[in-house]
């Protein structure tokens, strides 16, 4: 059922090791970074987690010079009456720059736990592996590829795979930039979990970003986000939560 994805999905937290040159130095090789955001709609892999309502989000990453890191990310959620209102996702992983490759990509592997404190039966863990390439096509751009796997998607004991490719590029020194993303999610046993009767779907995002020069670390993004889910027969609030819609987000990193 399509409604099930609302009660099981959470944003794939933006995790990664915090390298010393990217954050203030702390004792013992530690470093710290974080972010806070407000968005008009919390979408996870193209699907609303707030019934198309706004969300406040924030997180931090504590990293070590070895490449090990711990992250925590949270957001309000709304899956309907009687469902959890808070998502709080811890993650642990390891990130390293592959110096032996000419492109020097960053490899990031770890585990993310989608956690709903007031609804433990919805909790589930996911393994992830990411490769990020800087200056892949143009100066200052970033190309991200990732593969995620779980054997307990949505807490219903079924395998699921997600693959994703994302790209961001600045438009010169204007402060503006472009973002694009496409992902594919599939589950192994559609009798346990399905997306409106199907066992797979595609999601996408394409949009514009702007970095505020007067406020370091502050960015705005306006993007079209959606999926190819079949919404025939679905009532309007449900279909609106998976169809392409505009999402505006303000983010401040620190």
pLDDT value at residue 206: 98
Beta bridge partners of 101: none
Which tens digit of pLDDT belongs to each residue from 38-93?
Answer: 999 999 999 999 999 999 999 999 999 999 999 999 999 998 877 889 999 999 99
* Average pLDDT in the chain: 90
| Contact present, 243 and 237 (Cβ < 8 Å) | no
Domain total in the chain: 1
Q: Residue 232 — very low, low, confident or very high, per pLDDT cuts 50/70/90?
A: confident
Domain that holds residue 12: 2-253
Strand-strand pairing, 43-44 and 86-97: unpaired
Which tens digit of pLDDT belongs to each residue from 161-173?
Answer: 999 999 999 999 9
Taking residues 218-244, report their average pLDDT.
Answer: 89
Which tens digit of pLDDT belongs to each residue from 5-47?
Answer: 444 433 333 333 333 345 556 899 999 999 999 999 999 999 9
User: In this structure, what CATH number is given to the domain that contains residue 37?
Assistant: 2.40.160.40
The Cα–Cα gap between 116 and 128 comes to 20
Which residue in 205, 204, 159, 155 sits closest to 184, CA to CA? 204
More confident residue, 75 or 230: 75
pLDDT value at residue 246: 98
pLDDT value at residue 22: 52
pLDDT value at residue 194: 86
Which tens digit of pLDDT belongs to each residue from 200-216?
Answer: 999 999 999 999 999 99
Q: HSE (CB half, 13 Å, CA atoms) of 167? A: 10
């Amino acid at each position: 059922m399509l409604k099930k994805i609302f009660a099981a999905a959470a944003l794939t937290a933006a995790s990664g090791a915090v390298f010393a040159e990217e954050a203030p130095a702390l004792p013992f090789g530690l470093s710290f970074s974080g972010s806070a955001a407000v968005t008009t709609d919390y979408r996870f892999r193209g699907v609303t987690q707030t019934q198309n309502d706004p969300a406040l989000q924030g997180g931090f990453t504590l990293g070590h010079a070895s490449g090990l890191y711990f992250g925590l990310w949270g957001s309000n959620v709304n899956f309907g009456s009687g469902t959890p209102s808070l998502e709080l996702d811890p993650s642990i992983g390891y990130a390293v720059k592959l110096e032996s490759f000419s492109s020097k990509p960053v490899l990031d592997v770890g585990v993310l736990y989608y956690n709903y404190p007031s609804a433990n039966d919805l909790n589930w863990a996911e393994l992830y592996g990411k490769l990020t390439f800087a200056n892949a096509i143009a100066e200052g751009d970033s190309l991200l590829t990732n593969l995620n796997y779980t054997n307990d998607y949505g807490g219903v004991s079924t395998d699921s795979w997600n693959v994703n490719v994302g790209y961001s590029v600045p438009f010169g020194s204007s402060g503006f930039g472009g973002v694009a993303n496409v992902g594919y999610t599939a589950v192994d046993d559609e009798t346990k979990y399905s997306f409106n009767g199907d066992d797979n779907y595609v999601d996408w995002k394409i949009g514009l970003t702007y970095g505020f020069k007067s406020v370091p670390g502050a960015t705005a993004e306006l993007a079209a986000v959606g999926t190819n889910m079949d919404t025939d027969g679905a009532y309007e609030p449900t279909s609106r939560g998976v169809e392409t819609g505009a999402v505006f987000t303000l983010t401040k990193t620190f």
